[in-house]
Amino acid sequence: MVISQNVICAICASEYFVRIGVGYDSYQKHSFDCLECLQPIGVAVRAKAPNAHIEVVENCTFVDIDDSKTVINLHPNCCFPVDKYHERMSFPSLQAVNLIARHVRAVPGKFQDIATQFDIPNAANLWNKVKAIVNLSESEGKEKHIDKLIVGYNKERKKHKFGGCECKSANDVLNEFFDSLFYPRVNDISKPILGIIDSLFEQGKLDDFYKYYSDNLKKENQNRYISTLTSFFRYRDILGQLVDRARIWNEDVDDMMVGSKNFDEIKLYYGEVYEALTSNFTVLACLNNLHADRQFDEFKQMILAKYIKDVEKAKRDNPFKGTVEFAAFSEQLDSSLRNGSHHASIWRDGEVVMFKSGGTGAERNISYSRYLHMCNVVTISLVALYMIELHMVEKYS
């Protein structure tokens, strides 16, 4: 469904005919650039099926409908070909359905909503419940509270998930939630390593590493996962415009553009997710050592203590990126972009993101759509690594 409204910029009085595709969530915020004064104009959609309406957020007022004005197209779950962004009859959701249709877990002969089978409506709100389940699971004597939350989670998912939802534990909830939001990519990159874990466990070769992991890595790693993914869901309206392409390994993003910008909100996110992922790479490095028939703390040219203390984040994947099963975790890792994002040496000019890797570093640029795509790919890698850790924990539960 597309709804529309004319808005006037509160700063320069430019008028726009805004068309907004209604997404999956009950509240969807958008910010686009005024073409005249370049200041942000903010609107939001508030939706409760079958109805939806547009609200003012920032720098604009509403006026009567006039579709002869310059068109601004927005959609929280889709991007636009550059030459279609101002078209009056642009329907990016149709293109999106064509892209994802063959990846959706459809049940033959049954009517299903492709959109809700490839996403979770109101995922940011549900994430807060998932976090509560995880946090309570770290404490003794909270089983009743956890069980109540899991029942509520299953009930919420059954509203949209074909075939229902029967989670029984915190790990079940996390795996169901992440799988539903990020398949197929998240499974493509995690499953080969899950197989390695199963093999090592059966051979009794995982025990020493699991003890080290439990004593030294598990808690900090989980804190990074929870913190970074909370940021991801805070920015879902922005990142969601391109996340489907990351999920299906589609790299055709440079000739696309997103309607909703909000760059100031998300300019530090790549640095955050890069830091979280590479900090947690110790798990992959140790599993790779075991996979290569070494001790978990024995690398080709160093020991684990040196890897943790001395190897910079940009090189944390070196020990395993040449191993086929682990190679996908190096996708879209750019240390220069990380430095620019992490240290706020990054800015946007229209559809181009520019950044410096340091105070005297060379200036580089990528398309804004490429920046969002890289954020999404690295986020999915982070989620896949979390699922790998959950699988290992499950083995010893």
pLDDT tens digits for range 51-104: 999 999 999 999 999 999 999 999 999 999 999 999 999 999 888 889 998 999
CB burial class (10 A; 0-12, 13-18, 19+) of residue 272? Answer: buried
DSSP 203-257: TT-SHHHHHHHHHHTHHHHHHHHHHHHHHHHHTHHHHTTTHHHHHTT--TTTTEE
277 sits in the region (left: phi over 0; alpha: psi -120 to 50; else beta) called: alpha
Average pLDDT over residues 359-385: 94
Exposure of 376 in the CB half-sphere (CA atoms within 13 A): 28
Q: Which whole number is the average pLDDT over 371-395?
A: 98
Q: Is the model's pLDDT at 204 over the cut of 90?
A: yes
Per residue in 252-303, pLDDT tens? 999 999 999 999 999 999 999 999 999 999 999 999 999 999 999 999 999 9
Q: State residue 107's pLDDT score.
A: 73
Q: Which tokens is 51 given?
A: 């109805």
What's the pLDDT band for 162 if we cut at 50, 70, 90? confident
Instruction: State both tokens at 367.
Output: 């398309």
| pLDDT at site 27 | 96
State the pLDDT at residue 322. 97
Cβ pair 30, 74 in contact under 8 A: yes
What is the structure's pLDDT at 359? Answer: 60
pLDDT tens readout for residues 106-142: 777 666 677 678 999 999 999 999 999 999 999 899 9
- If you average pLDDT over every residue of the chain, what do you get? 95
300, burial (CB in 10 Å: exposed 0-12, middle 13-18, buried 19+)? exposed
Q: Where are the domains of the chain?
A: 2-101, 118-158+166-179, 183-395
Instruction: Assess contact for 133 and 236: CB atoms under 8 A.
Output: no
Overall average pLDDT of the 216-239 stretch: 98
pLDDT at 112 (0 to 100):
66
Rounded Cα gap, residues 392 and 348, in angstroms: 41
**Hey, how many other C-beta atoms are within 10 angstroms of the C-beta on 314?**
15
* pLDDT 10s digits, 21-62: 999 899 999 999 999 999 999 999 999 988 999 999 999 999
What's the pLDDT at 164? 87
Is the pTM here over 0.85, yes or no? yes
